[in-house]
C-alpha cells in the first residue's frame, strides 16, 4: 500500500509545500520512502529518499522543488528491495517527459515486462511494477507519434493501459508544460480522489489517495475518480474526465476500511469512521449472541481499532479504557519487513497501564489479526499487567489468503489463521477466548455507506480475487519474492552494501 498525491496550481509556485503537507497527512500509507517531483519551465525537479516524509525533505530540498505542479508518493514496499532506487515517483524522458506515481500491485508484470522489451523497445531498470505501469502508459502515448498532445491522447493511452494491465492501480502523473493526470483500475481496488481549492491567489487542484489529504489542506472534495476513469488537468485549470474502460465495476479493497485508511477519510462516498463504528456494533451483537463471559473492560489496541472498540463497549454497556499507550514514534508494525523486527517493535510501540488490567476480565479489540505477532505479545502484556482473563476480538474476519493487490500479506504460511480453527488461533495467541467478525457483517458495515457498491475485494478473507487471473502458480510466485524470509535476505544484502560503501 502506498499514498499518492498530484497538485496543479494555476498561479502559485508553492506546489511542493502543499505536496509535502499532503504526503505527511497520508504518511500512514507508507513509511519506507518518500518522493516529490515538480515541473517548472519544462523541467523536472526531483527529490526522493528512504524514510519518513519529514526525514526525506529538508529546507534545501524544498527550495529546489520549483514549479506550479507536481506529484508525490509515500512508499510501502510489497516486493523487491526497500532501497532508494525503487522510491517513487519514477520518470521517463520519452515521450515528452513523464513523471509518475502508483499505488497498488499489478498481477501480470512478467508478461508486461517481456512485451515492453520485445514490442515497445522500452527498458525497465528496477523491480518495481510501478515502473512497468509507467512504461506501458508512455509506450502507448509514444505510438500516437504527435509533437503536441491533448487530453484525448492521454485518455487514449489510459484506455490501452486498461486493456494491457491487470491488477490494482491508482496512479498520478505529470507531463511538463502540459499538466497532471490520474487514473484508476477498472475495479477501483485502490482509491483516488479529486479536489479543488480556490483563493484570491488562484485555483489549485489535487488528486490524492484519501480525502483527508484534501480536506486538511483546505481543498473541497469534488468526487472520487470512478473505476476505469481517467482525469486530466491542464495548465490553464481545465479539468477533463473520461471513462476509459468498458469493463469497469466497483470492487474497492475492503481492507482500506478495516485498517489502512485514516478514520477521518471518506472513500467512494463511504465514511471510514462510520464503517468502523458499525464494525464495533456488529461485533458486539455477535459477542452478545455467542458468549456468556463477564467482561469488565474493553481496551483497544491503538490506533486503528479505537473507533470499533468504543462502539463495541457502548453496545455491551461495558467500561471503555485506553489501557494501552502507544509510542507514536514507532512505525506501524504491520508494515515492518520481517517477524524479528515486528516482535522487537511491539514492546517498544506499546505499554500497558497496570491499573486498567489488574484483577479484571479484559476484552482486547484489534482491527484484524494477520501474522499474530502483535496479538500474542499484547495478550502476554495484559497478563503481565495482572489481567484475570484476556479475551480478544477482531473487527475483521480471519485472514487466511494472500493479498495480491498492494497489501503486504503475501504468504498464507505466515498467517496465524492459516490451517487453524478459531480455537486454535486463540490458543496460539494465548487468549482465553477469541471472536472474529463475520465476513457478511463486515461487508454490510462498509456497504451501508454506499449501497450502490455491490462488490468489494475481500480476497484476504475469502480467497476470491476480483481480477479473475490469480491461480496457485501466481500465489507461489509472489510468496517467493515477498515472504518475510526474502525480505530479511534483502535487508541483509542492503546492510552489507551500506557497510561496504562506508568502508570505501
Binding residue ranges for Mg(2+): 304, 366-367
β-pairing verdict for 389-394 and 361-366: parallel
CB atoms within 10 A of CB 40: 17
C-alpha span between 49 and 56 (Å, rounded): 5
Spatial CA neighbour of 389 closest among 359, 412, 369: 359
Active site residue 244: no
Is the peptide bond between 292 and the residue preceding it cis, with omega within 30 degrees of 0?
A: no
Q: Could you tell me how far CA 312 lies from the centroid of its own chain?
A: 26
As to burial, measured by CB atoms within 10 angstroms (0-12 exposed, 13-18 middle, 19+ buried), residue 68 is: buried
Euclidean distance between CA atoms 421 and 432, whole angstroms: 15
Nearest one of 152, 14, 145 to 70, comparing CA atoms: 14
Instruction: Write the DSSP assignment of 115-170 as a string of letters.
Output: HHHHTS-----SS-HHHHHHHHHHHHHHTT--SS--HHHHHHHHHHHHHH--EEEE
Q: Which residues are annotated as a binding site?
A: 304, 366-367
3-state DSSP percent of the chain in helix, strand and coil, to 5: 40, 25, 40
Contact 336, 342 (CB under 8 A): yes
Strand ranges inside 65-124, DSSP E: 69-75, 90-92, 98-106
Distance, CA of 18 to CA of 207 (rounded, Å)? 12
Name the catalytic one among 2, 244, 445, 460: 2
Read off the DSSP letter of residue 457. B
Which residues carry out catalysis? 2
Amino acid at each position: 500500500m502506498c499514498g499518492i498525491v498530484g497538485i496543479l496550481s494555476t498561479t502559485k509556485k508553492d506546489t511542493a509545500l502543499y505536496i509535502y503537507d499532503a504526503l505527511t497527512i497520508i504518511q500512514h500509507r507508507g513509511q519506507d520512502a518518500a518522493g516529490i517531483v515538480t515541473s517548472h519551465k519544462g523541467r523536472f525537479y526531483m527529490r526522493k529518499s528512504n524514510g519518513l516524509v519529514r526525514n526525506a525533505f529538508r529546507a534545501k530540498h524544498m527550495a529546489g522543488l520549483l514549479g506550479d505542479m507536481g506529484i508525490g508518493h509515500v512508499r510501502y514496499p510489497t516486493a523487491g528491495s526497500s532501497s532508494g532506487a525503487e522510491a517513487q515517483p519514477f520518470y521517463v524522458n520519452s515521450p515528452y517527459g513523464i513523471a509518475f506515481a502508483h499505488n497498488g500491485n499489478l498481477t501480470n508484470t512478467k508478461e508486461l515486462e517481456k512485451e515492453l522489451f520485445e514490442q515497445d523497445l522500452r527498458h525497465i531498470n528496477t523491480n518495481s511494477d510501478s515502473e512497468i505501469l509507467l512504461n506501458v502508459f508512455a509506450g502507448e502515448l509514444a505510438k500516437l507519434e504527435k509533437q503536441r498532445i491533448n487530453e484525448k491522447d492521454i485518455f487514449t493511452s489510459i484506455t490501452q493501459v486498461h486493456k494491457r494491465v491487470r491488477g490494482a492501480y491508482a496512479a498520478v502523473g505529470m507531463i511538463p508544460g502540459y499538466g497532471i493526470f490520474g487514473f484508476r483500475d477498472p475495479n477501483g481496488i485502490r482509491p483516488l480522489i479529486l479536489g479543488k481549492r480556490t483563493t484570491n491567489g488562484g485555483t489549485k487542484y489535487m488528486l490524492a489517495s484519501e480525502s483527508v489529504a484534501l480536506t486538511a489542506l483546505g481543498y473541497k472534495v469534488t468526487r472520487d475518480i470512478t473505476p476505469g476513469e481517467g482525469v486530466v488537468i491542464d495548465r490553464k485549470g481545465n479539468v477533463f474526465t473520461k471513462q476509459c474502460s468498458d469493463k469497469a465495476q466497483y470492487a474497492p479493497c475492503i481492507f482500506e476500511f478495516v485498517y489502512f485508511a485514516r478514520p477521518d477519510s471518506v472513500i467512494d462516498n463511504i465514511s471510514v469512521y462510520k464503517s468502523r463504528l458499525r464494525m464495533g456494533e456488529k461485533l458486539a451483537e455477535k459477542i452478545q449472541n455467542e458468549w456468556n463471559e463477564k467482561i469488565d473492560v474493553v481496551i483497544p489496541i491503538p490506533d486503528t481499532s479505537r473507533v470499533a472498540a468504543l462502539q463495541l463497549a457502548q453496545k455491551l454497556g461495558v467500561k471503555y479504557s485506553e489501557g494501552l499507550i502507544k509510542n507514536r514514534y514507532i512505525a506501524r508494525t504491520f508494515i515492518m519487513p520481517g517477524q524479528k523486527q515486528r516482535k522487537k517493535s511491539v514492546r517498544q510501540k506499546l505499554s500497558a497501564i497496570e491499573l486498567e488490567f489488574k484483577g479484571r476480565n479484559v476484552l482486547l479489540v484489534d482491527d484484524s489479526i494477520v501474522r499474530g505477532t502483535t496479538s500474542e505479545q499484547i495478550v502476554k502484556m495484559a497478563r503481565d499487567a495482572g489481567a484475570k482473563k484476556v479475551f480478544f476480538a477482531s473487527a475483521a474476519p480471519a485472514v487466511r489468503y494472500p493479498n495480491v493487490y498492494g497489501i503486504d500479506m503475501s504468504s498464507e504460511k505466515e498467517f496465524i489463521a492459516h490451517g487453524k480453527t478459531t480455537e486454535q488461533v486463540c490458543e496460539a495467541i494465548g487468549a482465553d477466548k477469541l471472536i472474529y467478525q463475520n465476513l457478511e457483517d463486515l461487508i454490510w458495515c462498509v456497504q451501508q455507506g454506499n449501497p450502490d457498491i455491490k462488490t468489494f475485494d475481500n480476497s484476504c478473507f475469502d480467497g476470491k480475487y476480483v481480477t479473475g487471473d490469480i491461480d496457485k502458480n501466481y500465489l507461489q510466485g509472489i510468496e517467493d519474492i515477498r515472504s518475510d524470509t526474502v525480505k530479511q535476505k534483502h535487508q541483509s544484502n542492503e546492510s552489507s552494501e551500506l557497510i561496504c560503501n562506508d568502508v570505501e
